[in-house]
Every structure is written in structure tokens, then in C-alpha cells.
Amino acid sequence: MANNKIKIGLPERIFDVFNVIFMFLLCIIMLYPFLYVIFASFSEPAKLMAHSGMLLSPQGLSLDAYESVLQNPRVWTGYKNTIIYVLFGTAFNIVMTVLCAYGLSRKGLMFTRVITIMIVFTMYFSGGMIPTYLVVRGLGLYNSRLALIIPGAINTFNMIIMRTAMAAVPDSLEESARLEGASHLQVLFKIMIPVTMPTIAVLILYYGVGHWNAWFNASIYLSDPAKQPLQLFLRQILITANMGDMAGSSSEDQALLAETIKYATIVVATVPILVLYPFLQKYFVKGVMVGSLKG
């Protein structure tokens, strides 16, 4: 290896230096907001209030905000609900997406083109919030946990990725199974799913992260706070903290602690999914390739 060394010219070295510096700066810009939130969440409220400029370390050290957040029953109901939506929602998404994609990827399905156009149509046009709401309500899903699971069961874009992945599987695999007398179900479960597992893993991530971060549908379909996910509560904390400033009648200690509670809630609501990212990153990279190369 050593004797095969390629000589790197000066311009390239200069480029590398600047490239590395540039990337470092970019990293810092990306990282700083996270660090700011973490530092602020551990700060003493009064000191944080008097602080100006960049926040490079916690101002004082206080766990009051975390104590307040973790003692809050609404945080825990939120967590429970979010986990329910992530687990069951993602499972349902995957089942529906795989079934739909399998059907559309088979040759000889009648009206494939028409069905595909109709499905793709929904990517660009939607019925609007109120009609959708009325449909969900009319189906009796209002204020039911299913309202967050059923209406968004298939994401068109994800379904197309899945269909493309299945269409790319060589026909001979399926043909040989059919000759042995396998049914469509057997082909799907014994051949297609094992072969397209990497794509499915990526979709699990897309759907899972989507469910974790979702709040809007919950805000219109779920009026019962006992069923609302954590992100909706997080949003509420952020909004009420801002409203307190304007209303002018919130009390002093609330105005003080509200600021750090806000940051502590962000940390509590974000860290679990954040910790997962590094482990799952390789699938994300794969996912991007699935979309660009074969789609």
C-alpha cells in the first residue's frame, strides 16, 4: 500500500485544509443550537435571564427544570402515547405499504397505470384540512387513537420507494417459486420481504421518526389530552412560555422557570430519538440511495 502512494499536489492540499475548516464551521453551526438548549436547560433561571450573548456553558447548575418536567404527569402520558403511536403506527404503515407496493409491482395487474396515477395524484393534491377532518369524524375516528394510525397508513412517496425496490427483484426468483406452486402470499413473505429487507428497514425509520415528531394530526383529531402525544405537549410548553410574556399577568417565578422548563422539555422530548440516530444512520444513507439510483 505504502509504495502505491498517490502524490497529492499543493492545490489539493490547500483545498483539503479549507474543506476541513469549512466542514468544522458547518458542524459547529449545526451543533450549537443543540448545545444551547442543553446548556440552557441546566442553567439557573435567574442567571440565564441576566446572560447575554453566546451561551458556552450552563449558567450556574440547576436541575429544577428537569425535576419539574419529570414530575409532570403530562410528560409521562405523552411519552406513553408517543410510544404507542410509534410502535403500532409504524407496524400498520409497513404492513399497508408493503401490501400495496407488492400489488403494484406485479406485472399483469389490471389497471396498474390508472391506479398508480391515482395514488401519485394524492402526493400533489389533498382535500384540505376541513374535508379530511369531516371524513375522519364521519368514520367515527374522532378522539380515537386510531385517528393517528389509520388515516396516514400509506405515505405515497414511501410506497413508491417500496414498489421500486420490489420491481427491481429479478423476475426469475418469483417465477421459480410460482412453478413450485407458491401463492402470492407465499411469494410475498418468503421471497419479496426477505430480499427487500434493507428498504423496509429504511421505511421503518421514515415512518417511526415521522410518528415521533408528529403533532398536527393529534391537535385536530384528539381533543382528549390523555391520548395526545408528547410532541403536542412540548409544543404547548413552548407556546405558553411565549404567551406568558405577552399576557402580562403570569407570575414572576413562572416567567423565570418557564424559560428553563422549556429547554428541559425539548431535551426530554428529543434525546431518545436523537440517541437512536447514530445507530441507524447507515440505513438512512442506504435510503437516500434507494430513492436516487433506482427511483
Binding interface with another protein (CB under 8 A): 45-46, 49-52, 64, 67-68, 71-74, 77, 129-130, 133-134, 137, 218-220, 222-226, 228, 232, 235-237, 239-240, 244-245, 247-257
Please report, for residues 148, 219, 239, the alpha-carbon distance to residue 224 in angstroms, rounded to integers and kept in the order given.
13, 10, 19
Of residues 160 and 218, the one with the C-beta less far from another protein: 218
Q: Which is nearer to another protein, 43 or 164 (CB)?
A: 43
Residues 46 and 68: their CA atoms lie apart, in Å, by 16
Q: What one-letter code names the amino acid at 85?
A: Y
Packing angle, helices 252-289 and 230-247, rounded to 10: 140
Query: Cα dihedral angle (128, 131, 136, 140), rounded to 10 degrees?
Result: 170
Q: Which is nearer to another protein, 77 or 116 (CB)?
A: 77
State the minimum distance, in angstroms, from the CB of residue 31 to another protein.
21
CB of 234 to another protein, least distance (A): 11
- Cell 450549537 belongs to residue: 32
State the nearest-atom distance from the C-beta of 42 to another protein, in Å: 16
Q: Which is nearer to another protein, 225 or 295 (CB)?
A: 225
Residue 224 Cβ, how far from another protein at the closest point, in Å?
8
CB of 219 to another protein, least distance (A): 4
- Contact between 136 and 221 under an 8 Å Cβ cutoff? The reply is yes
Q: Between 72 and 112, name the residue whose CB sits nearer to another protein.
A: 72
Please state the closest distance from residue 64 (CB atom) to another protein, in A: 7
DSSP 55-80: --S-SS---HHHHHHHH-HHHHHHHH
Who's near 20: CB < 8 A, 6+ residues apart? none
Query: Given the complex with another protein, which of 9 and 248 has the nearer CB atom?
Result: 248
Nearest to 44 by CA among 253, 232, 189, 251: 253
Whether 217 contacts 135, CB under 8 Å: no
Indicate the residue among 45 and 208 with the shorter CB distance to another protein: 45
Closest distance of CB 253 from another protein, Å:
5
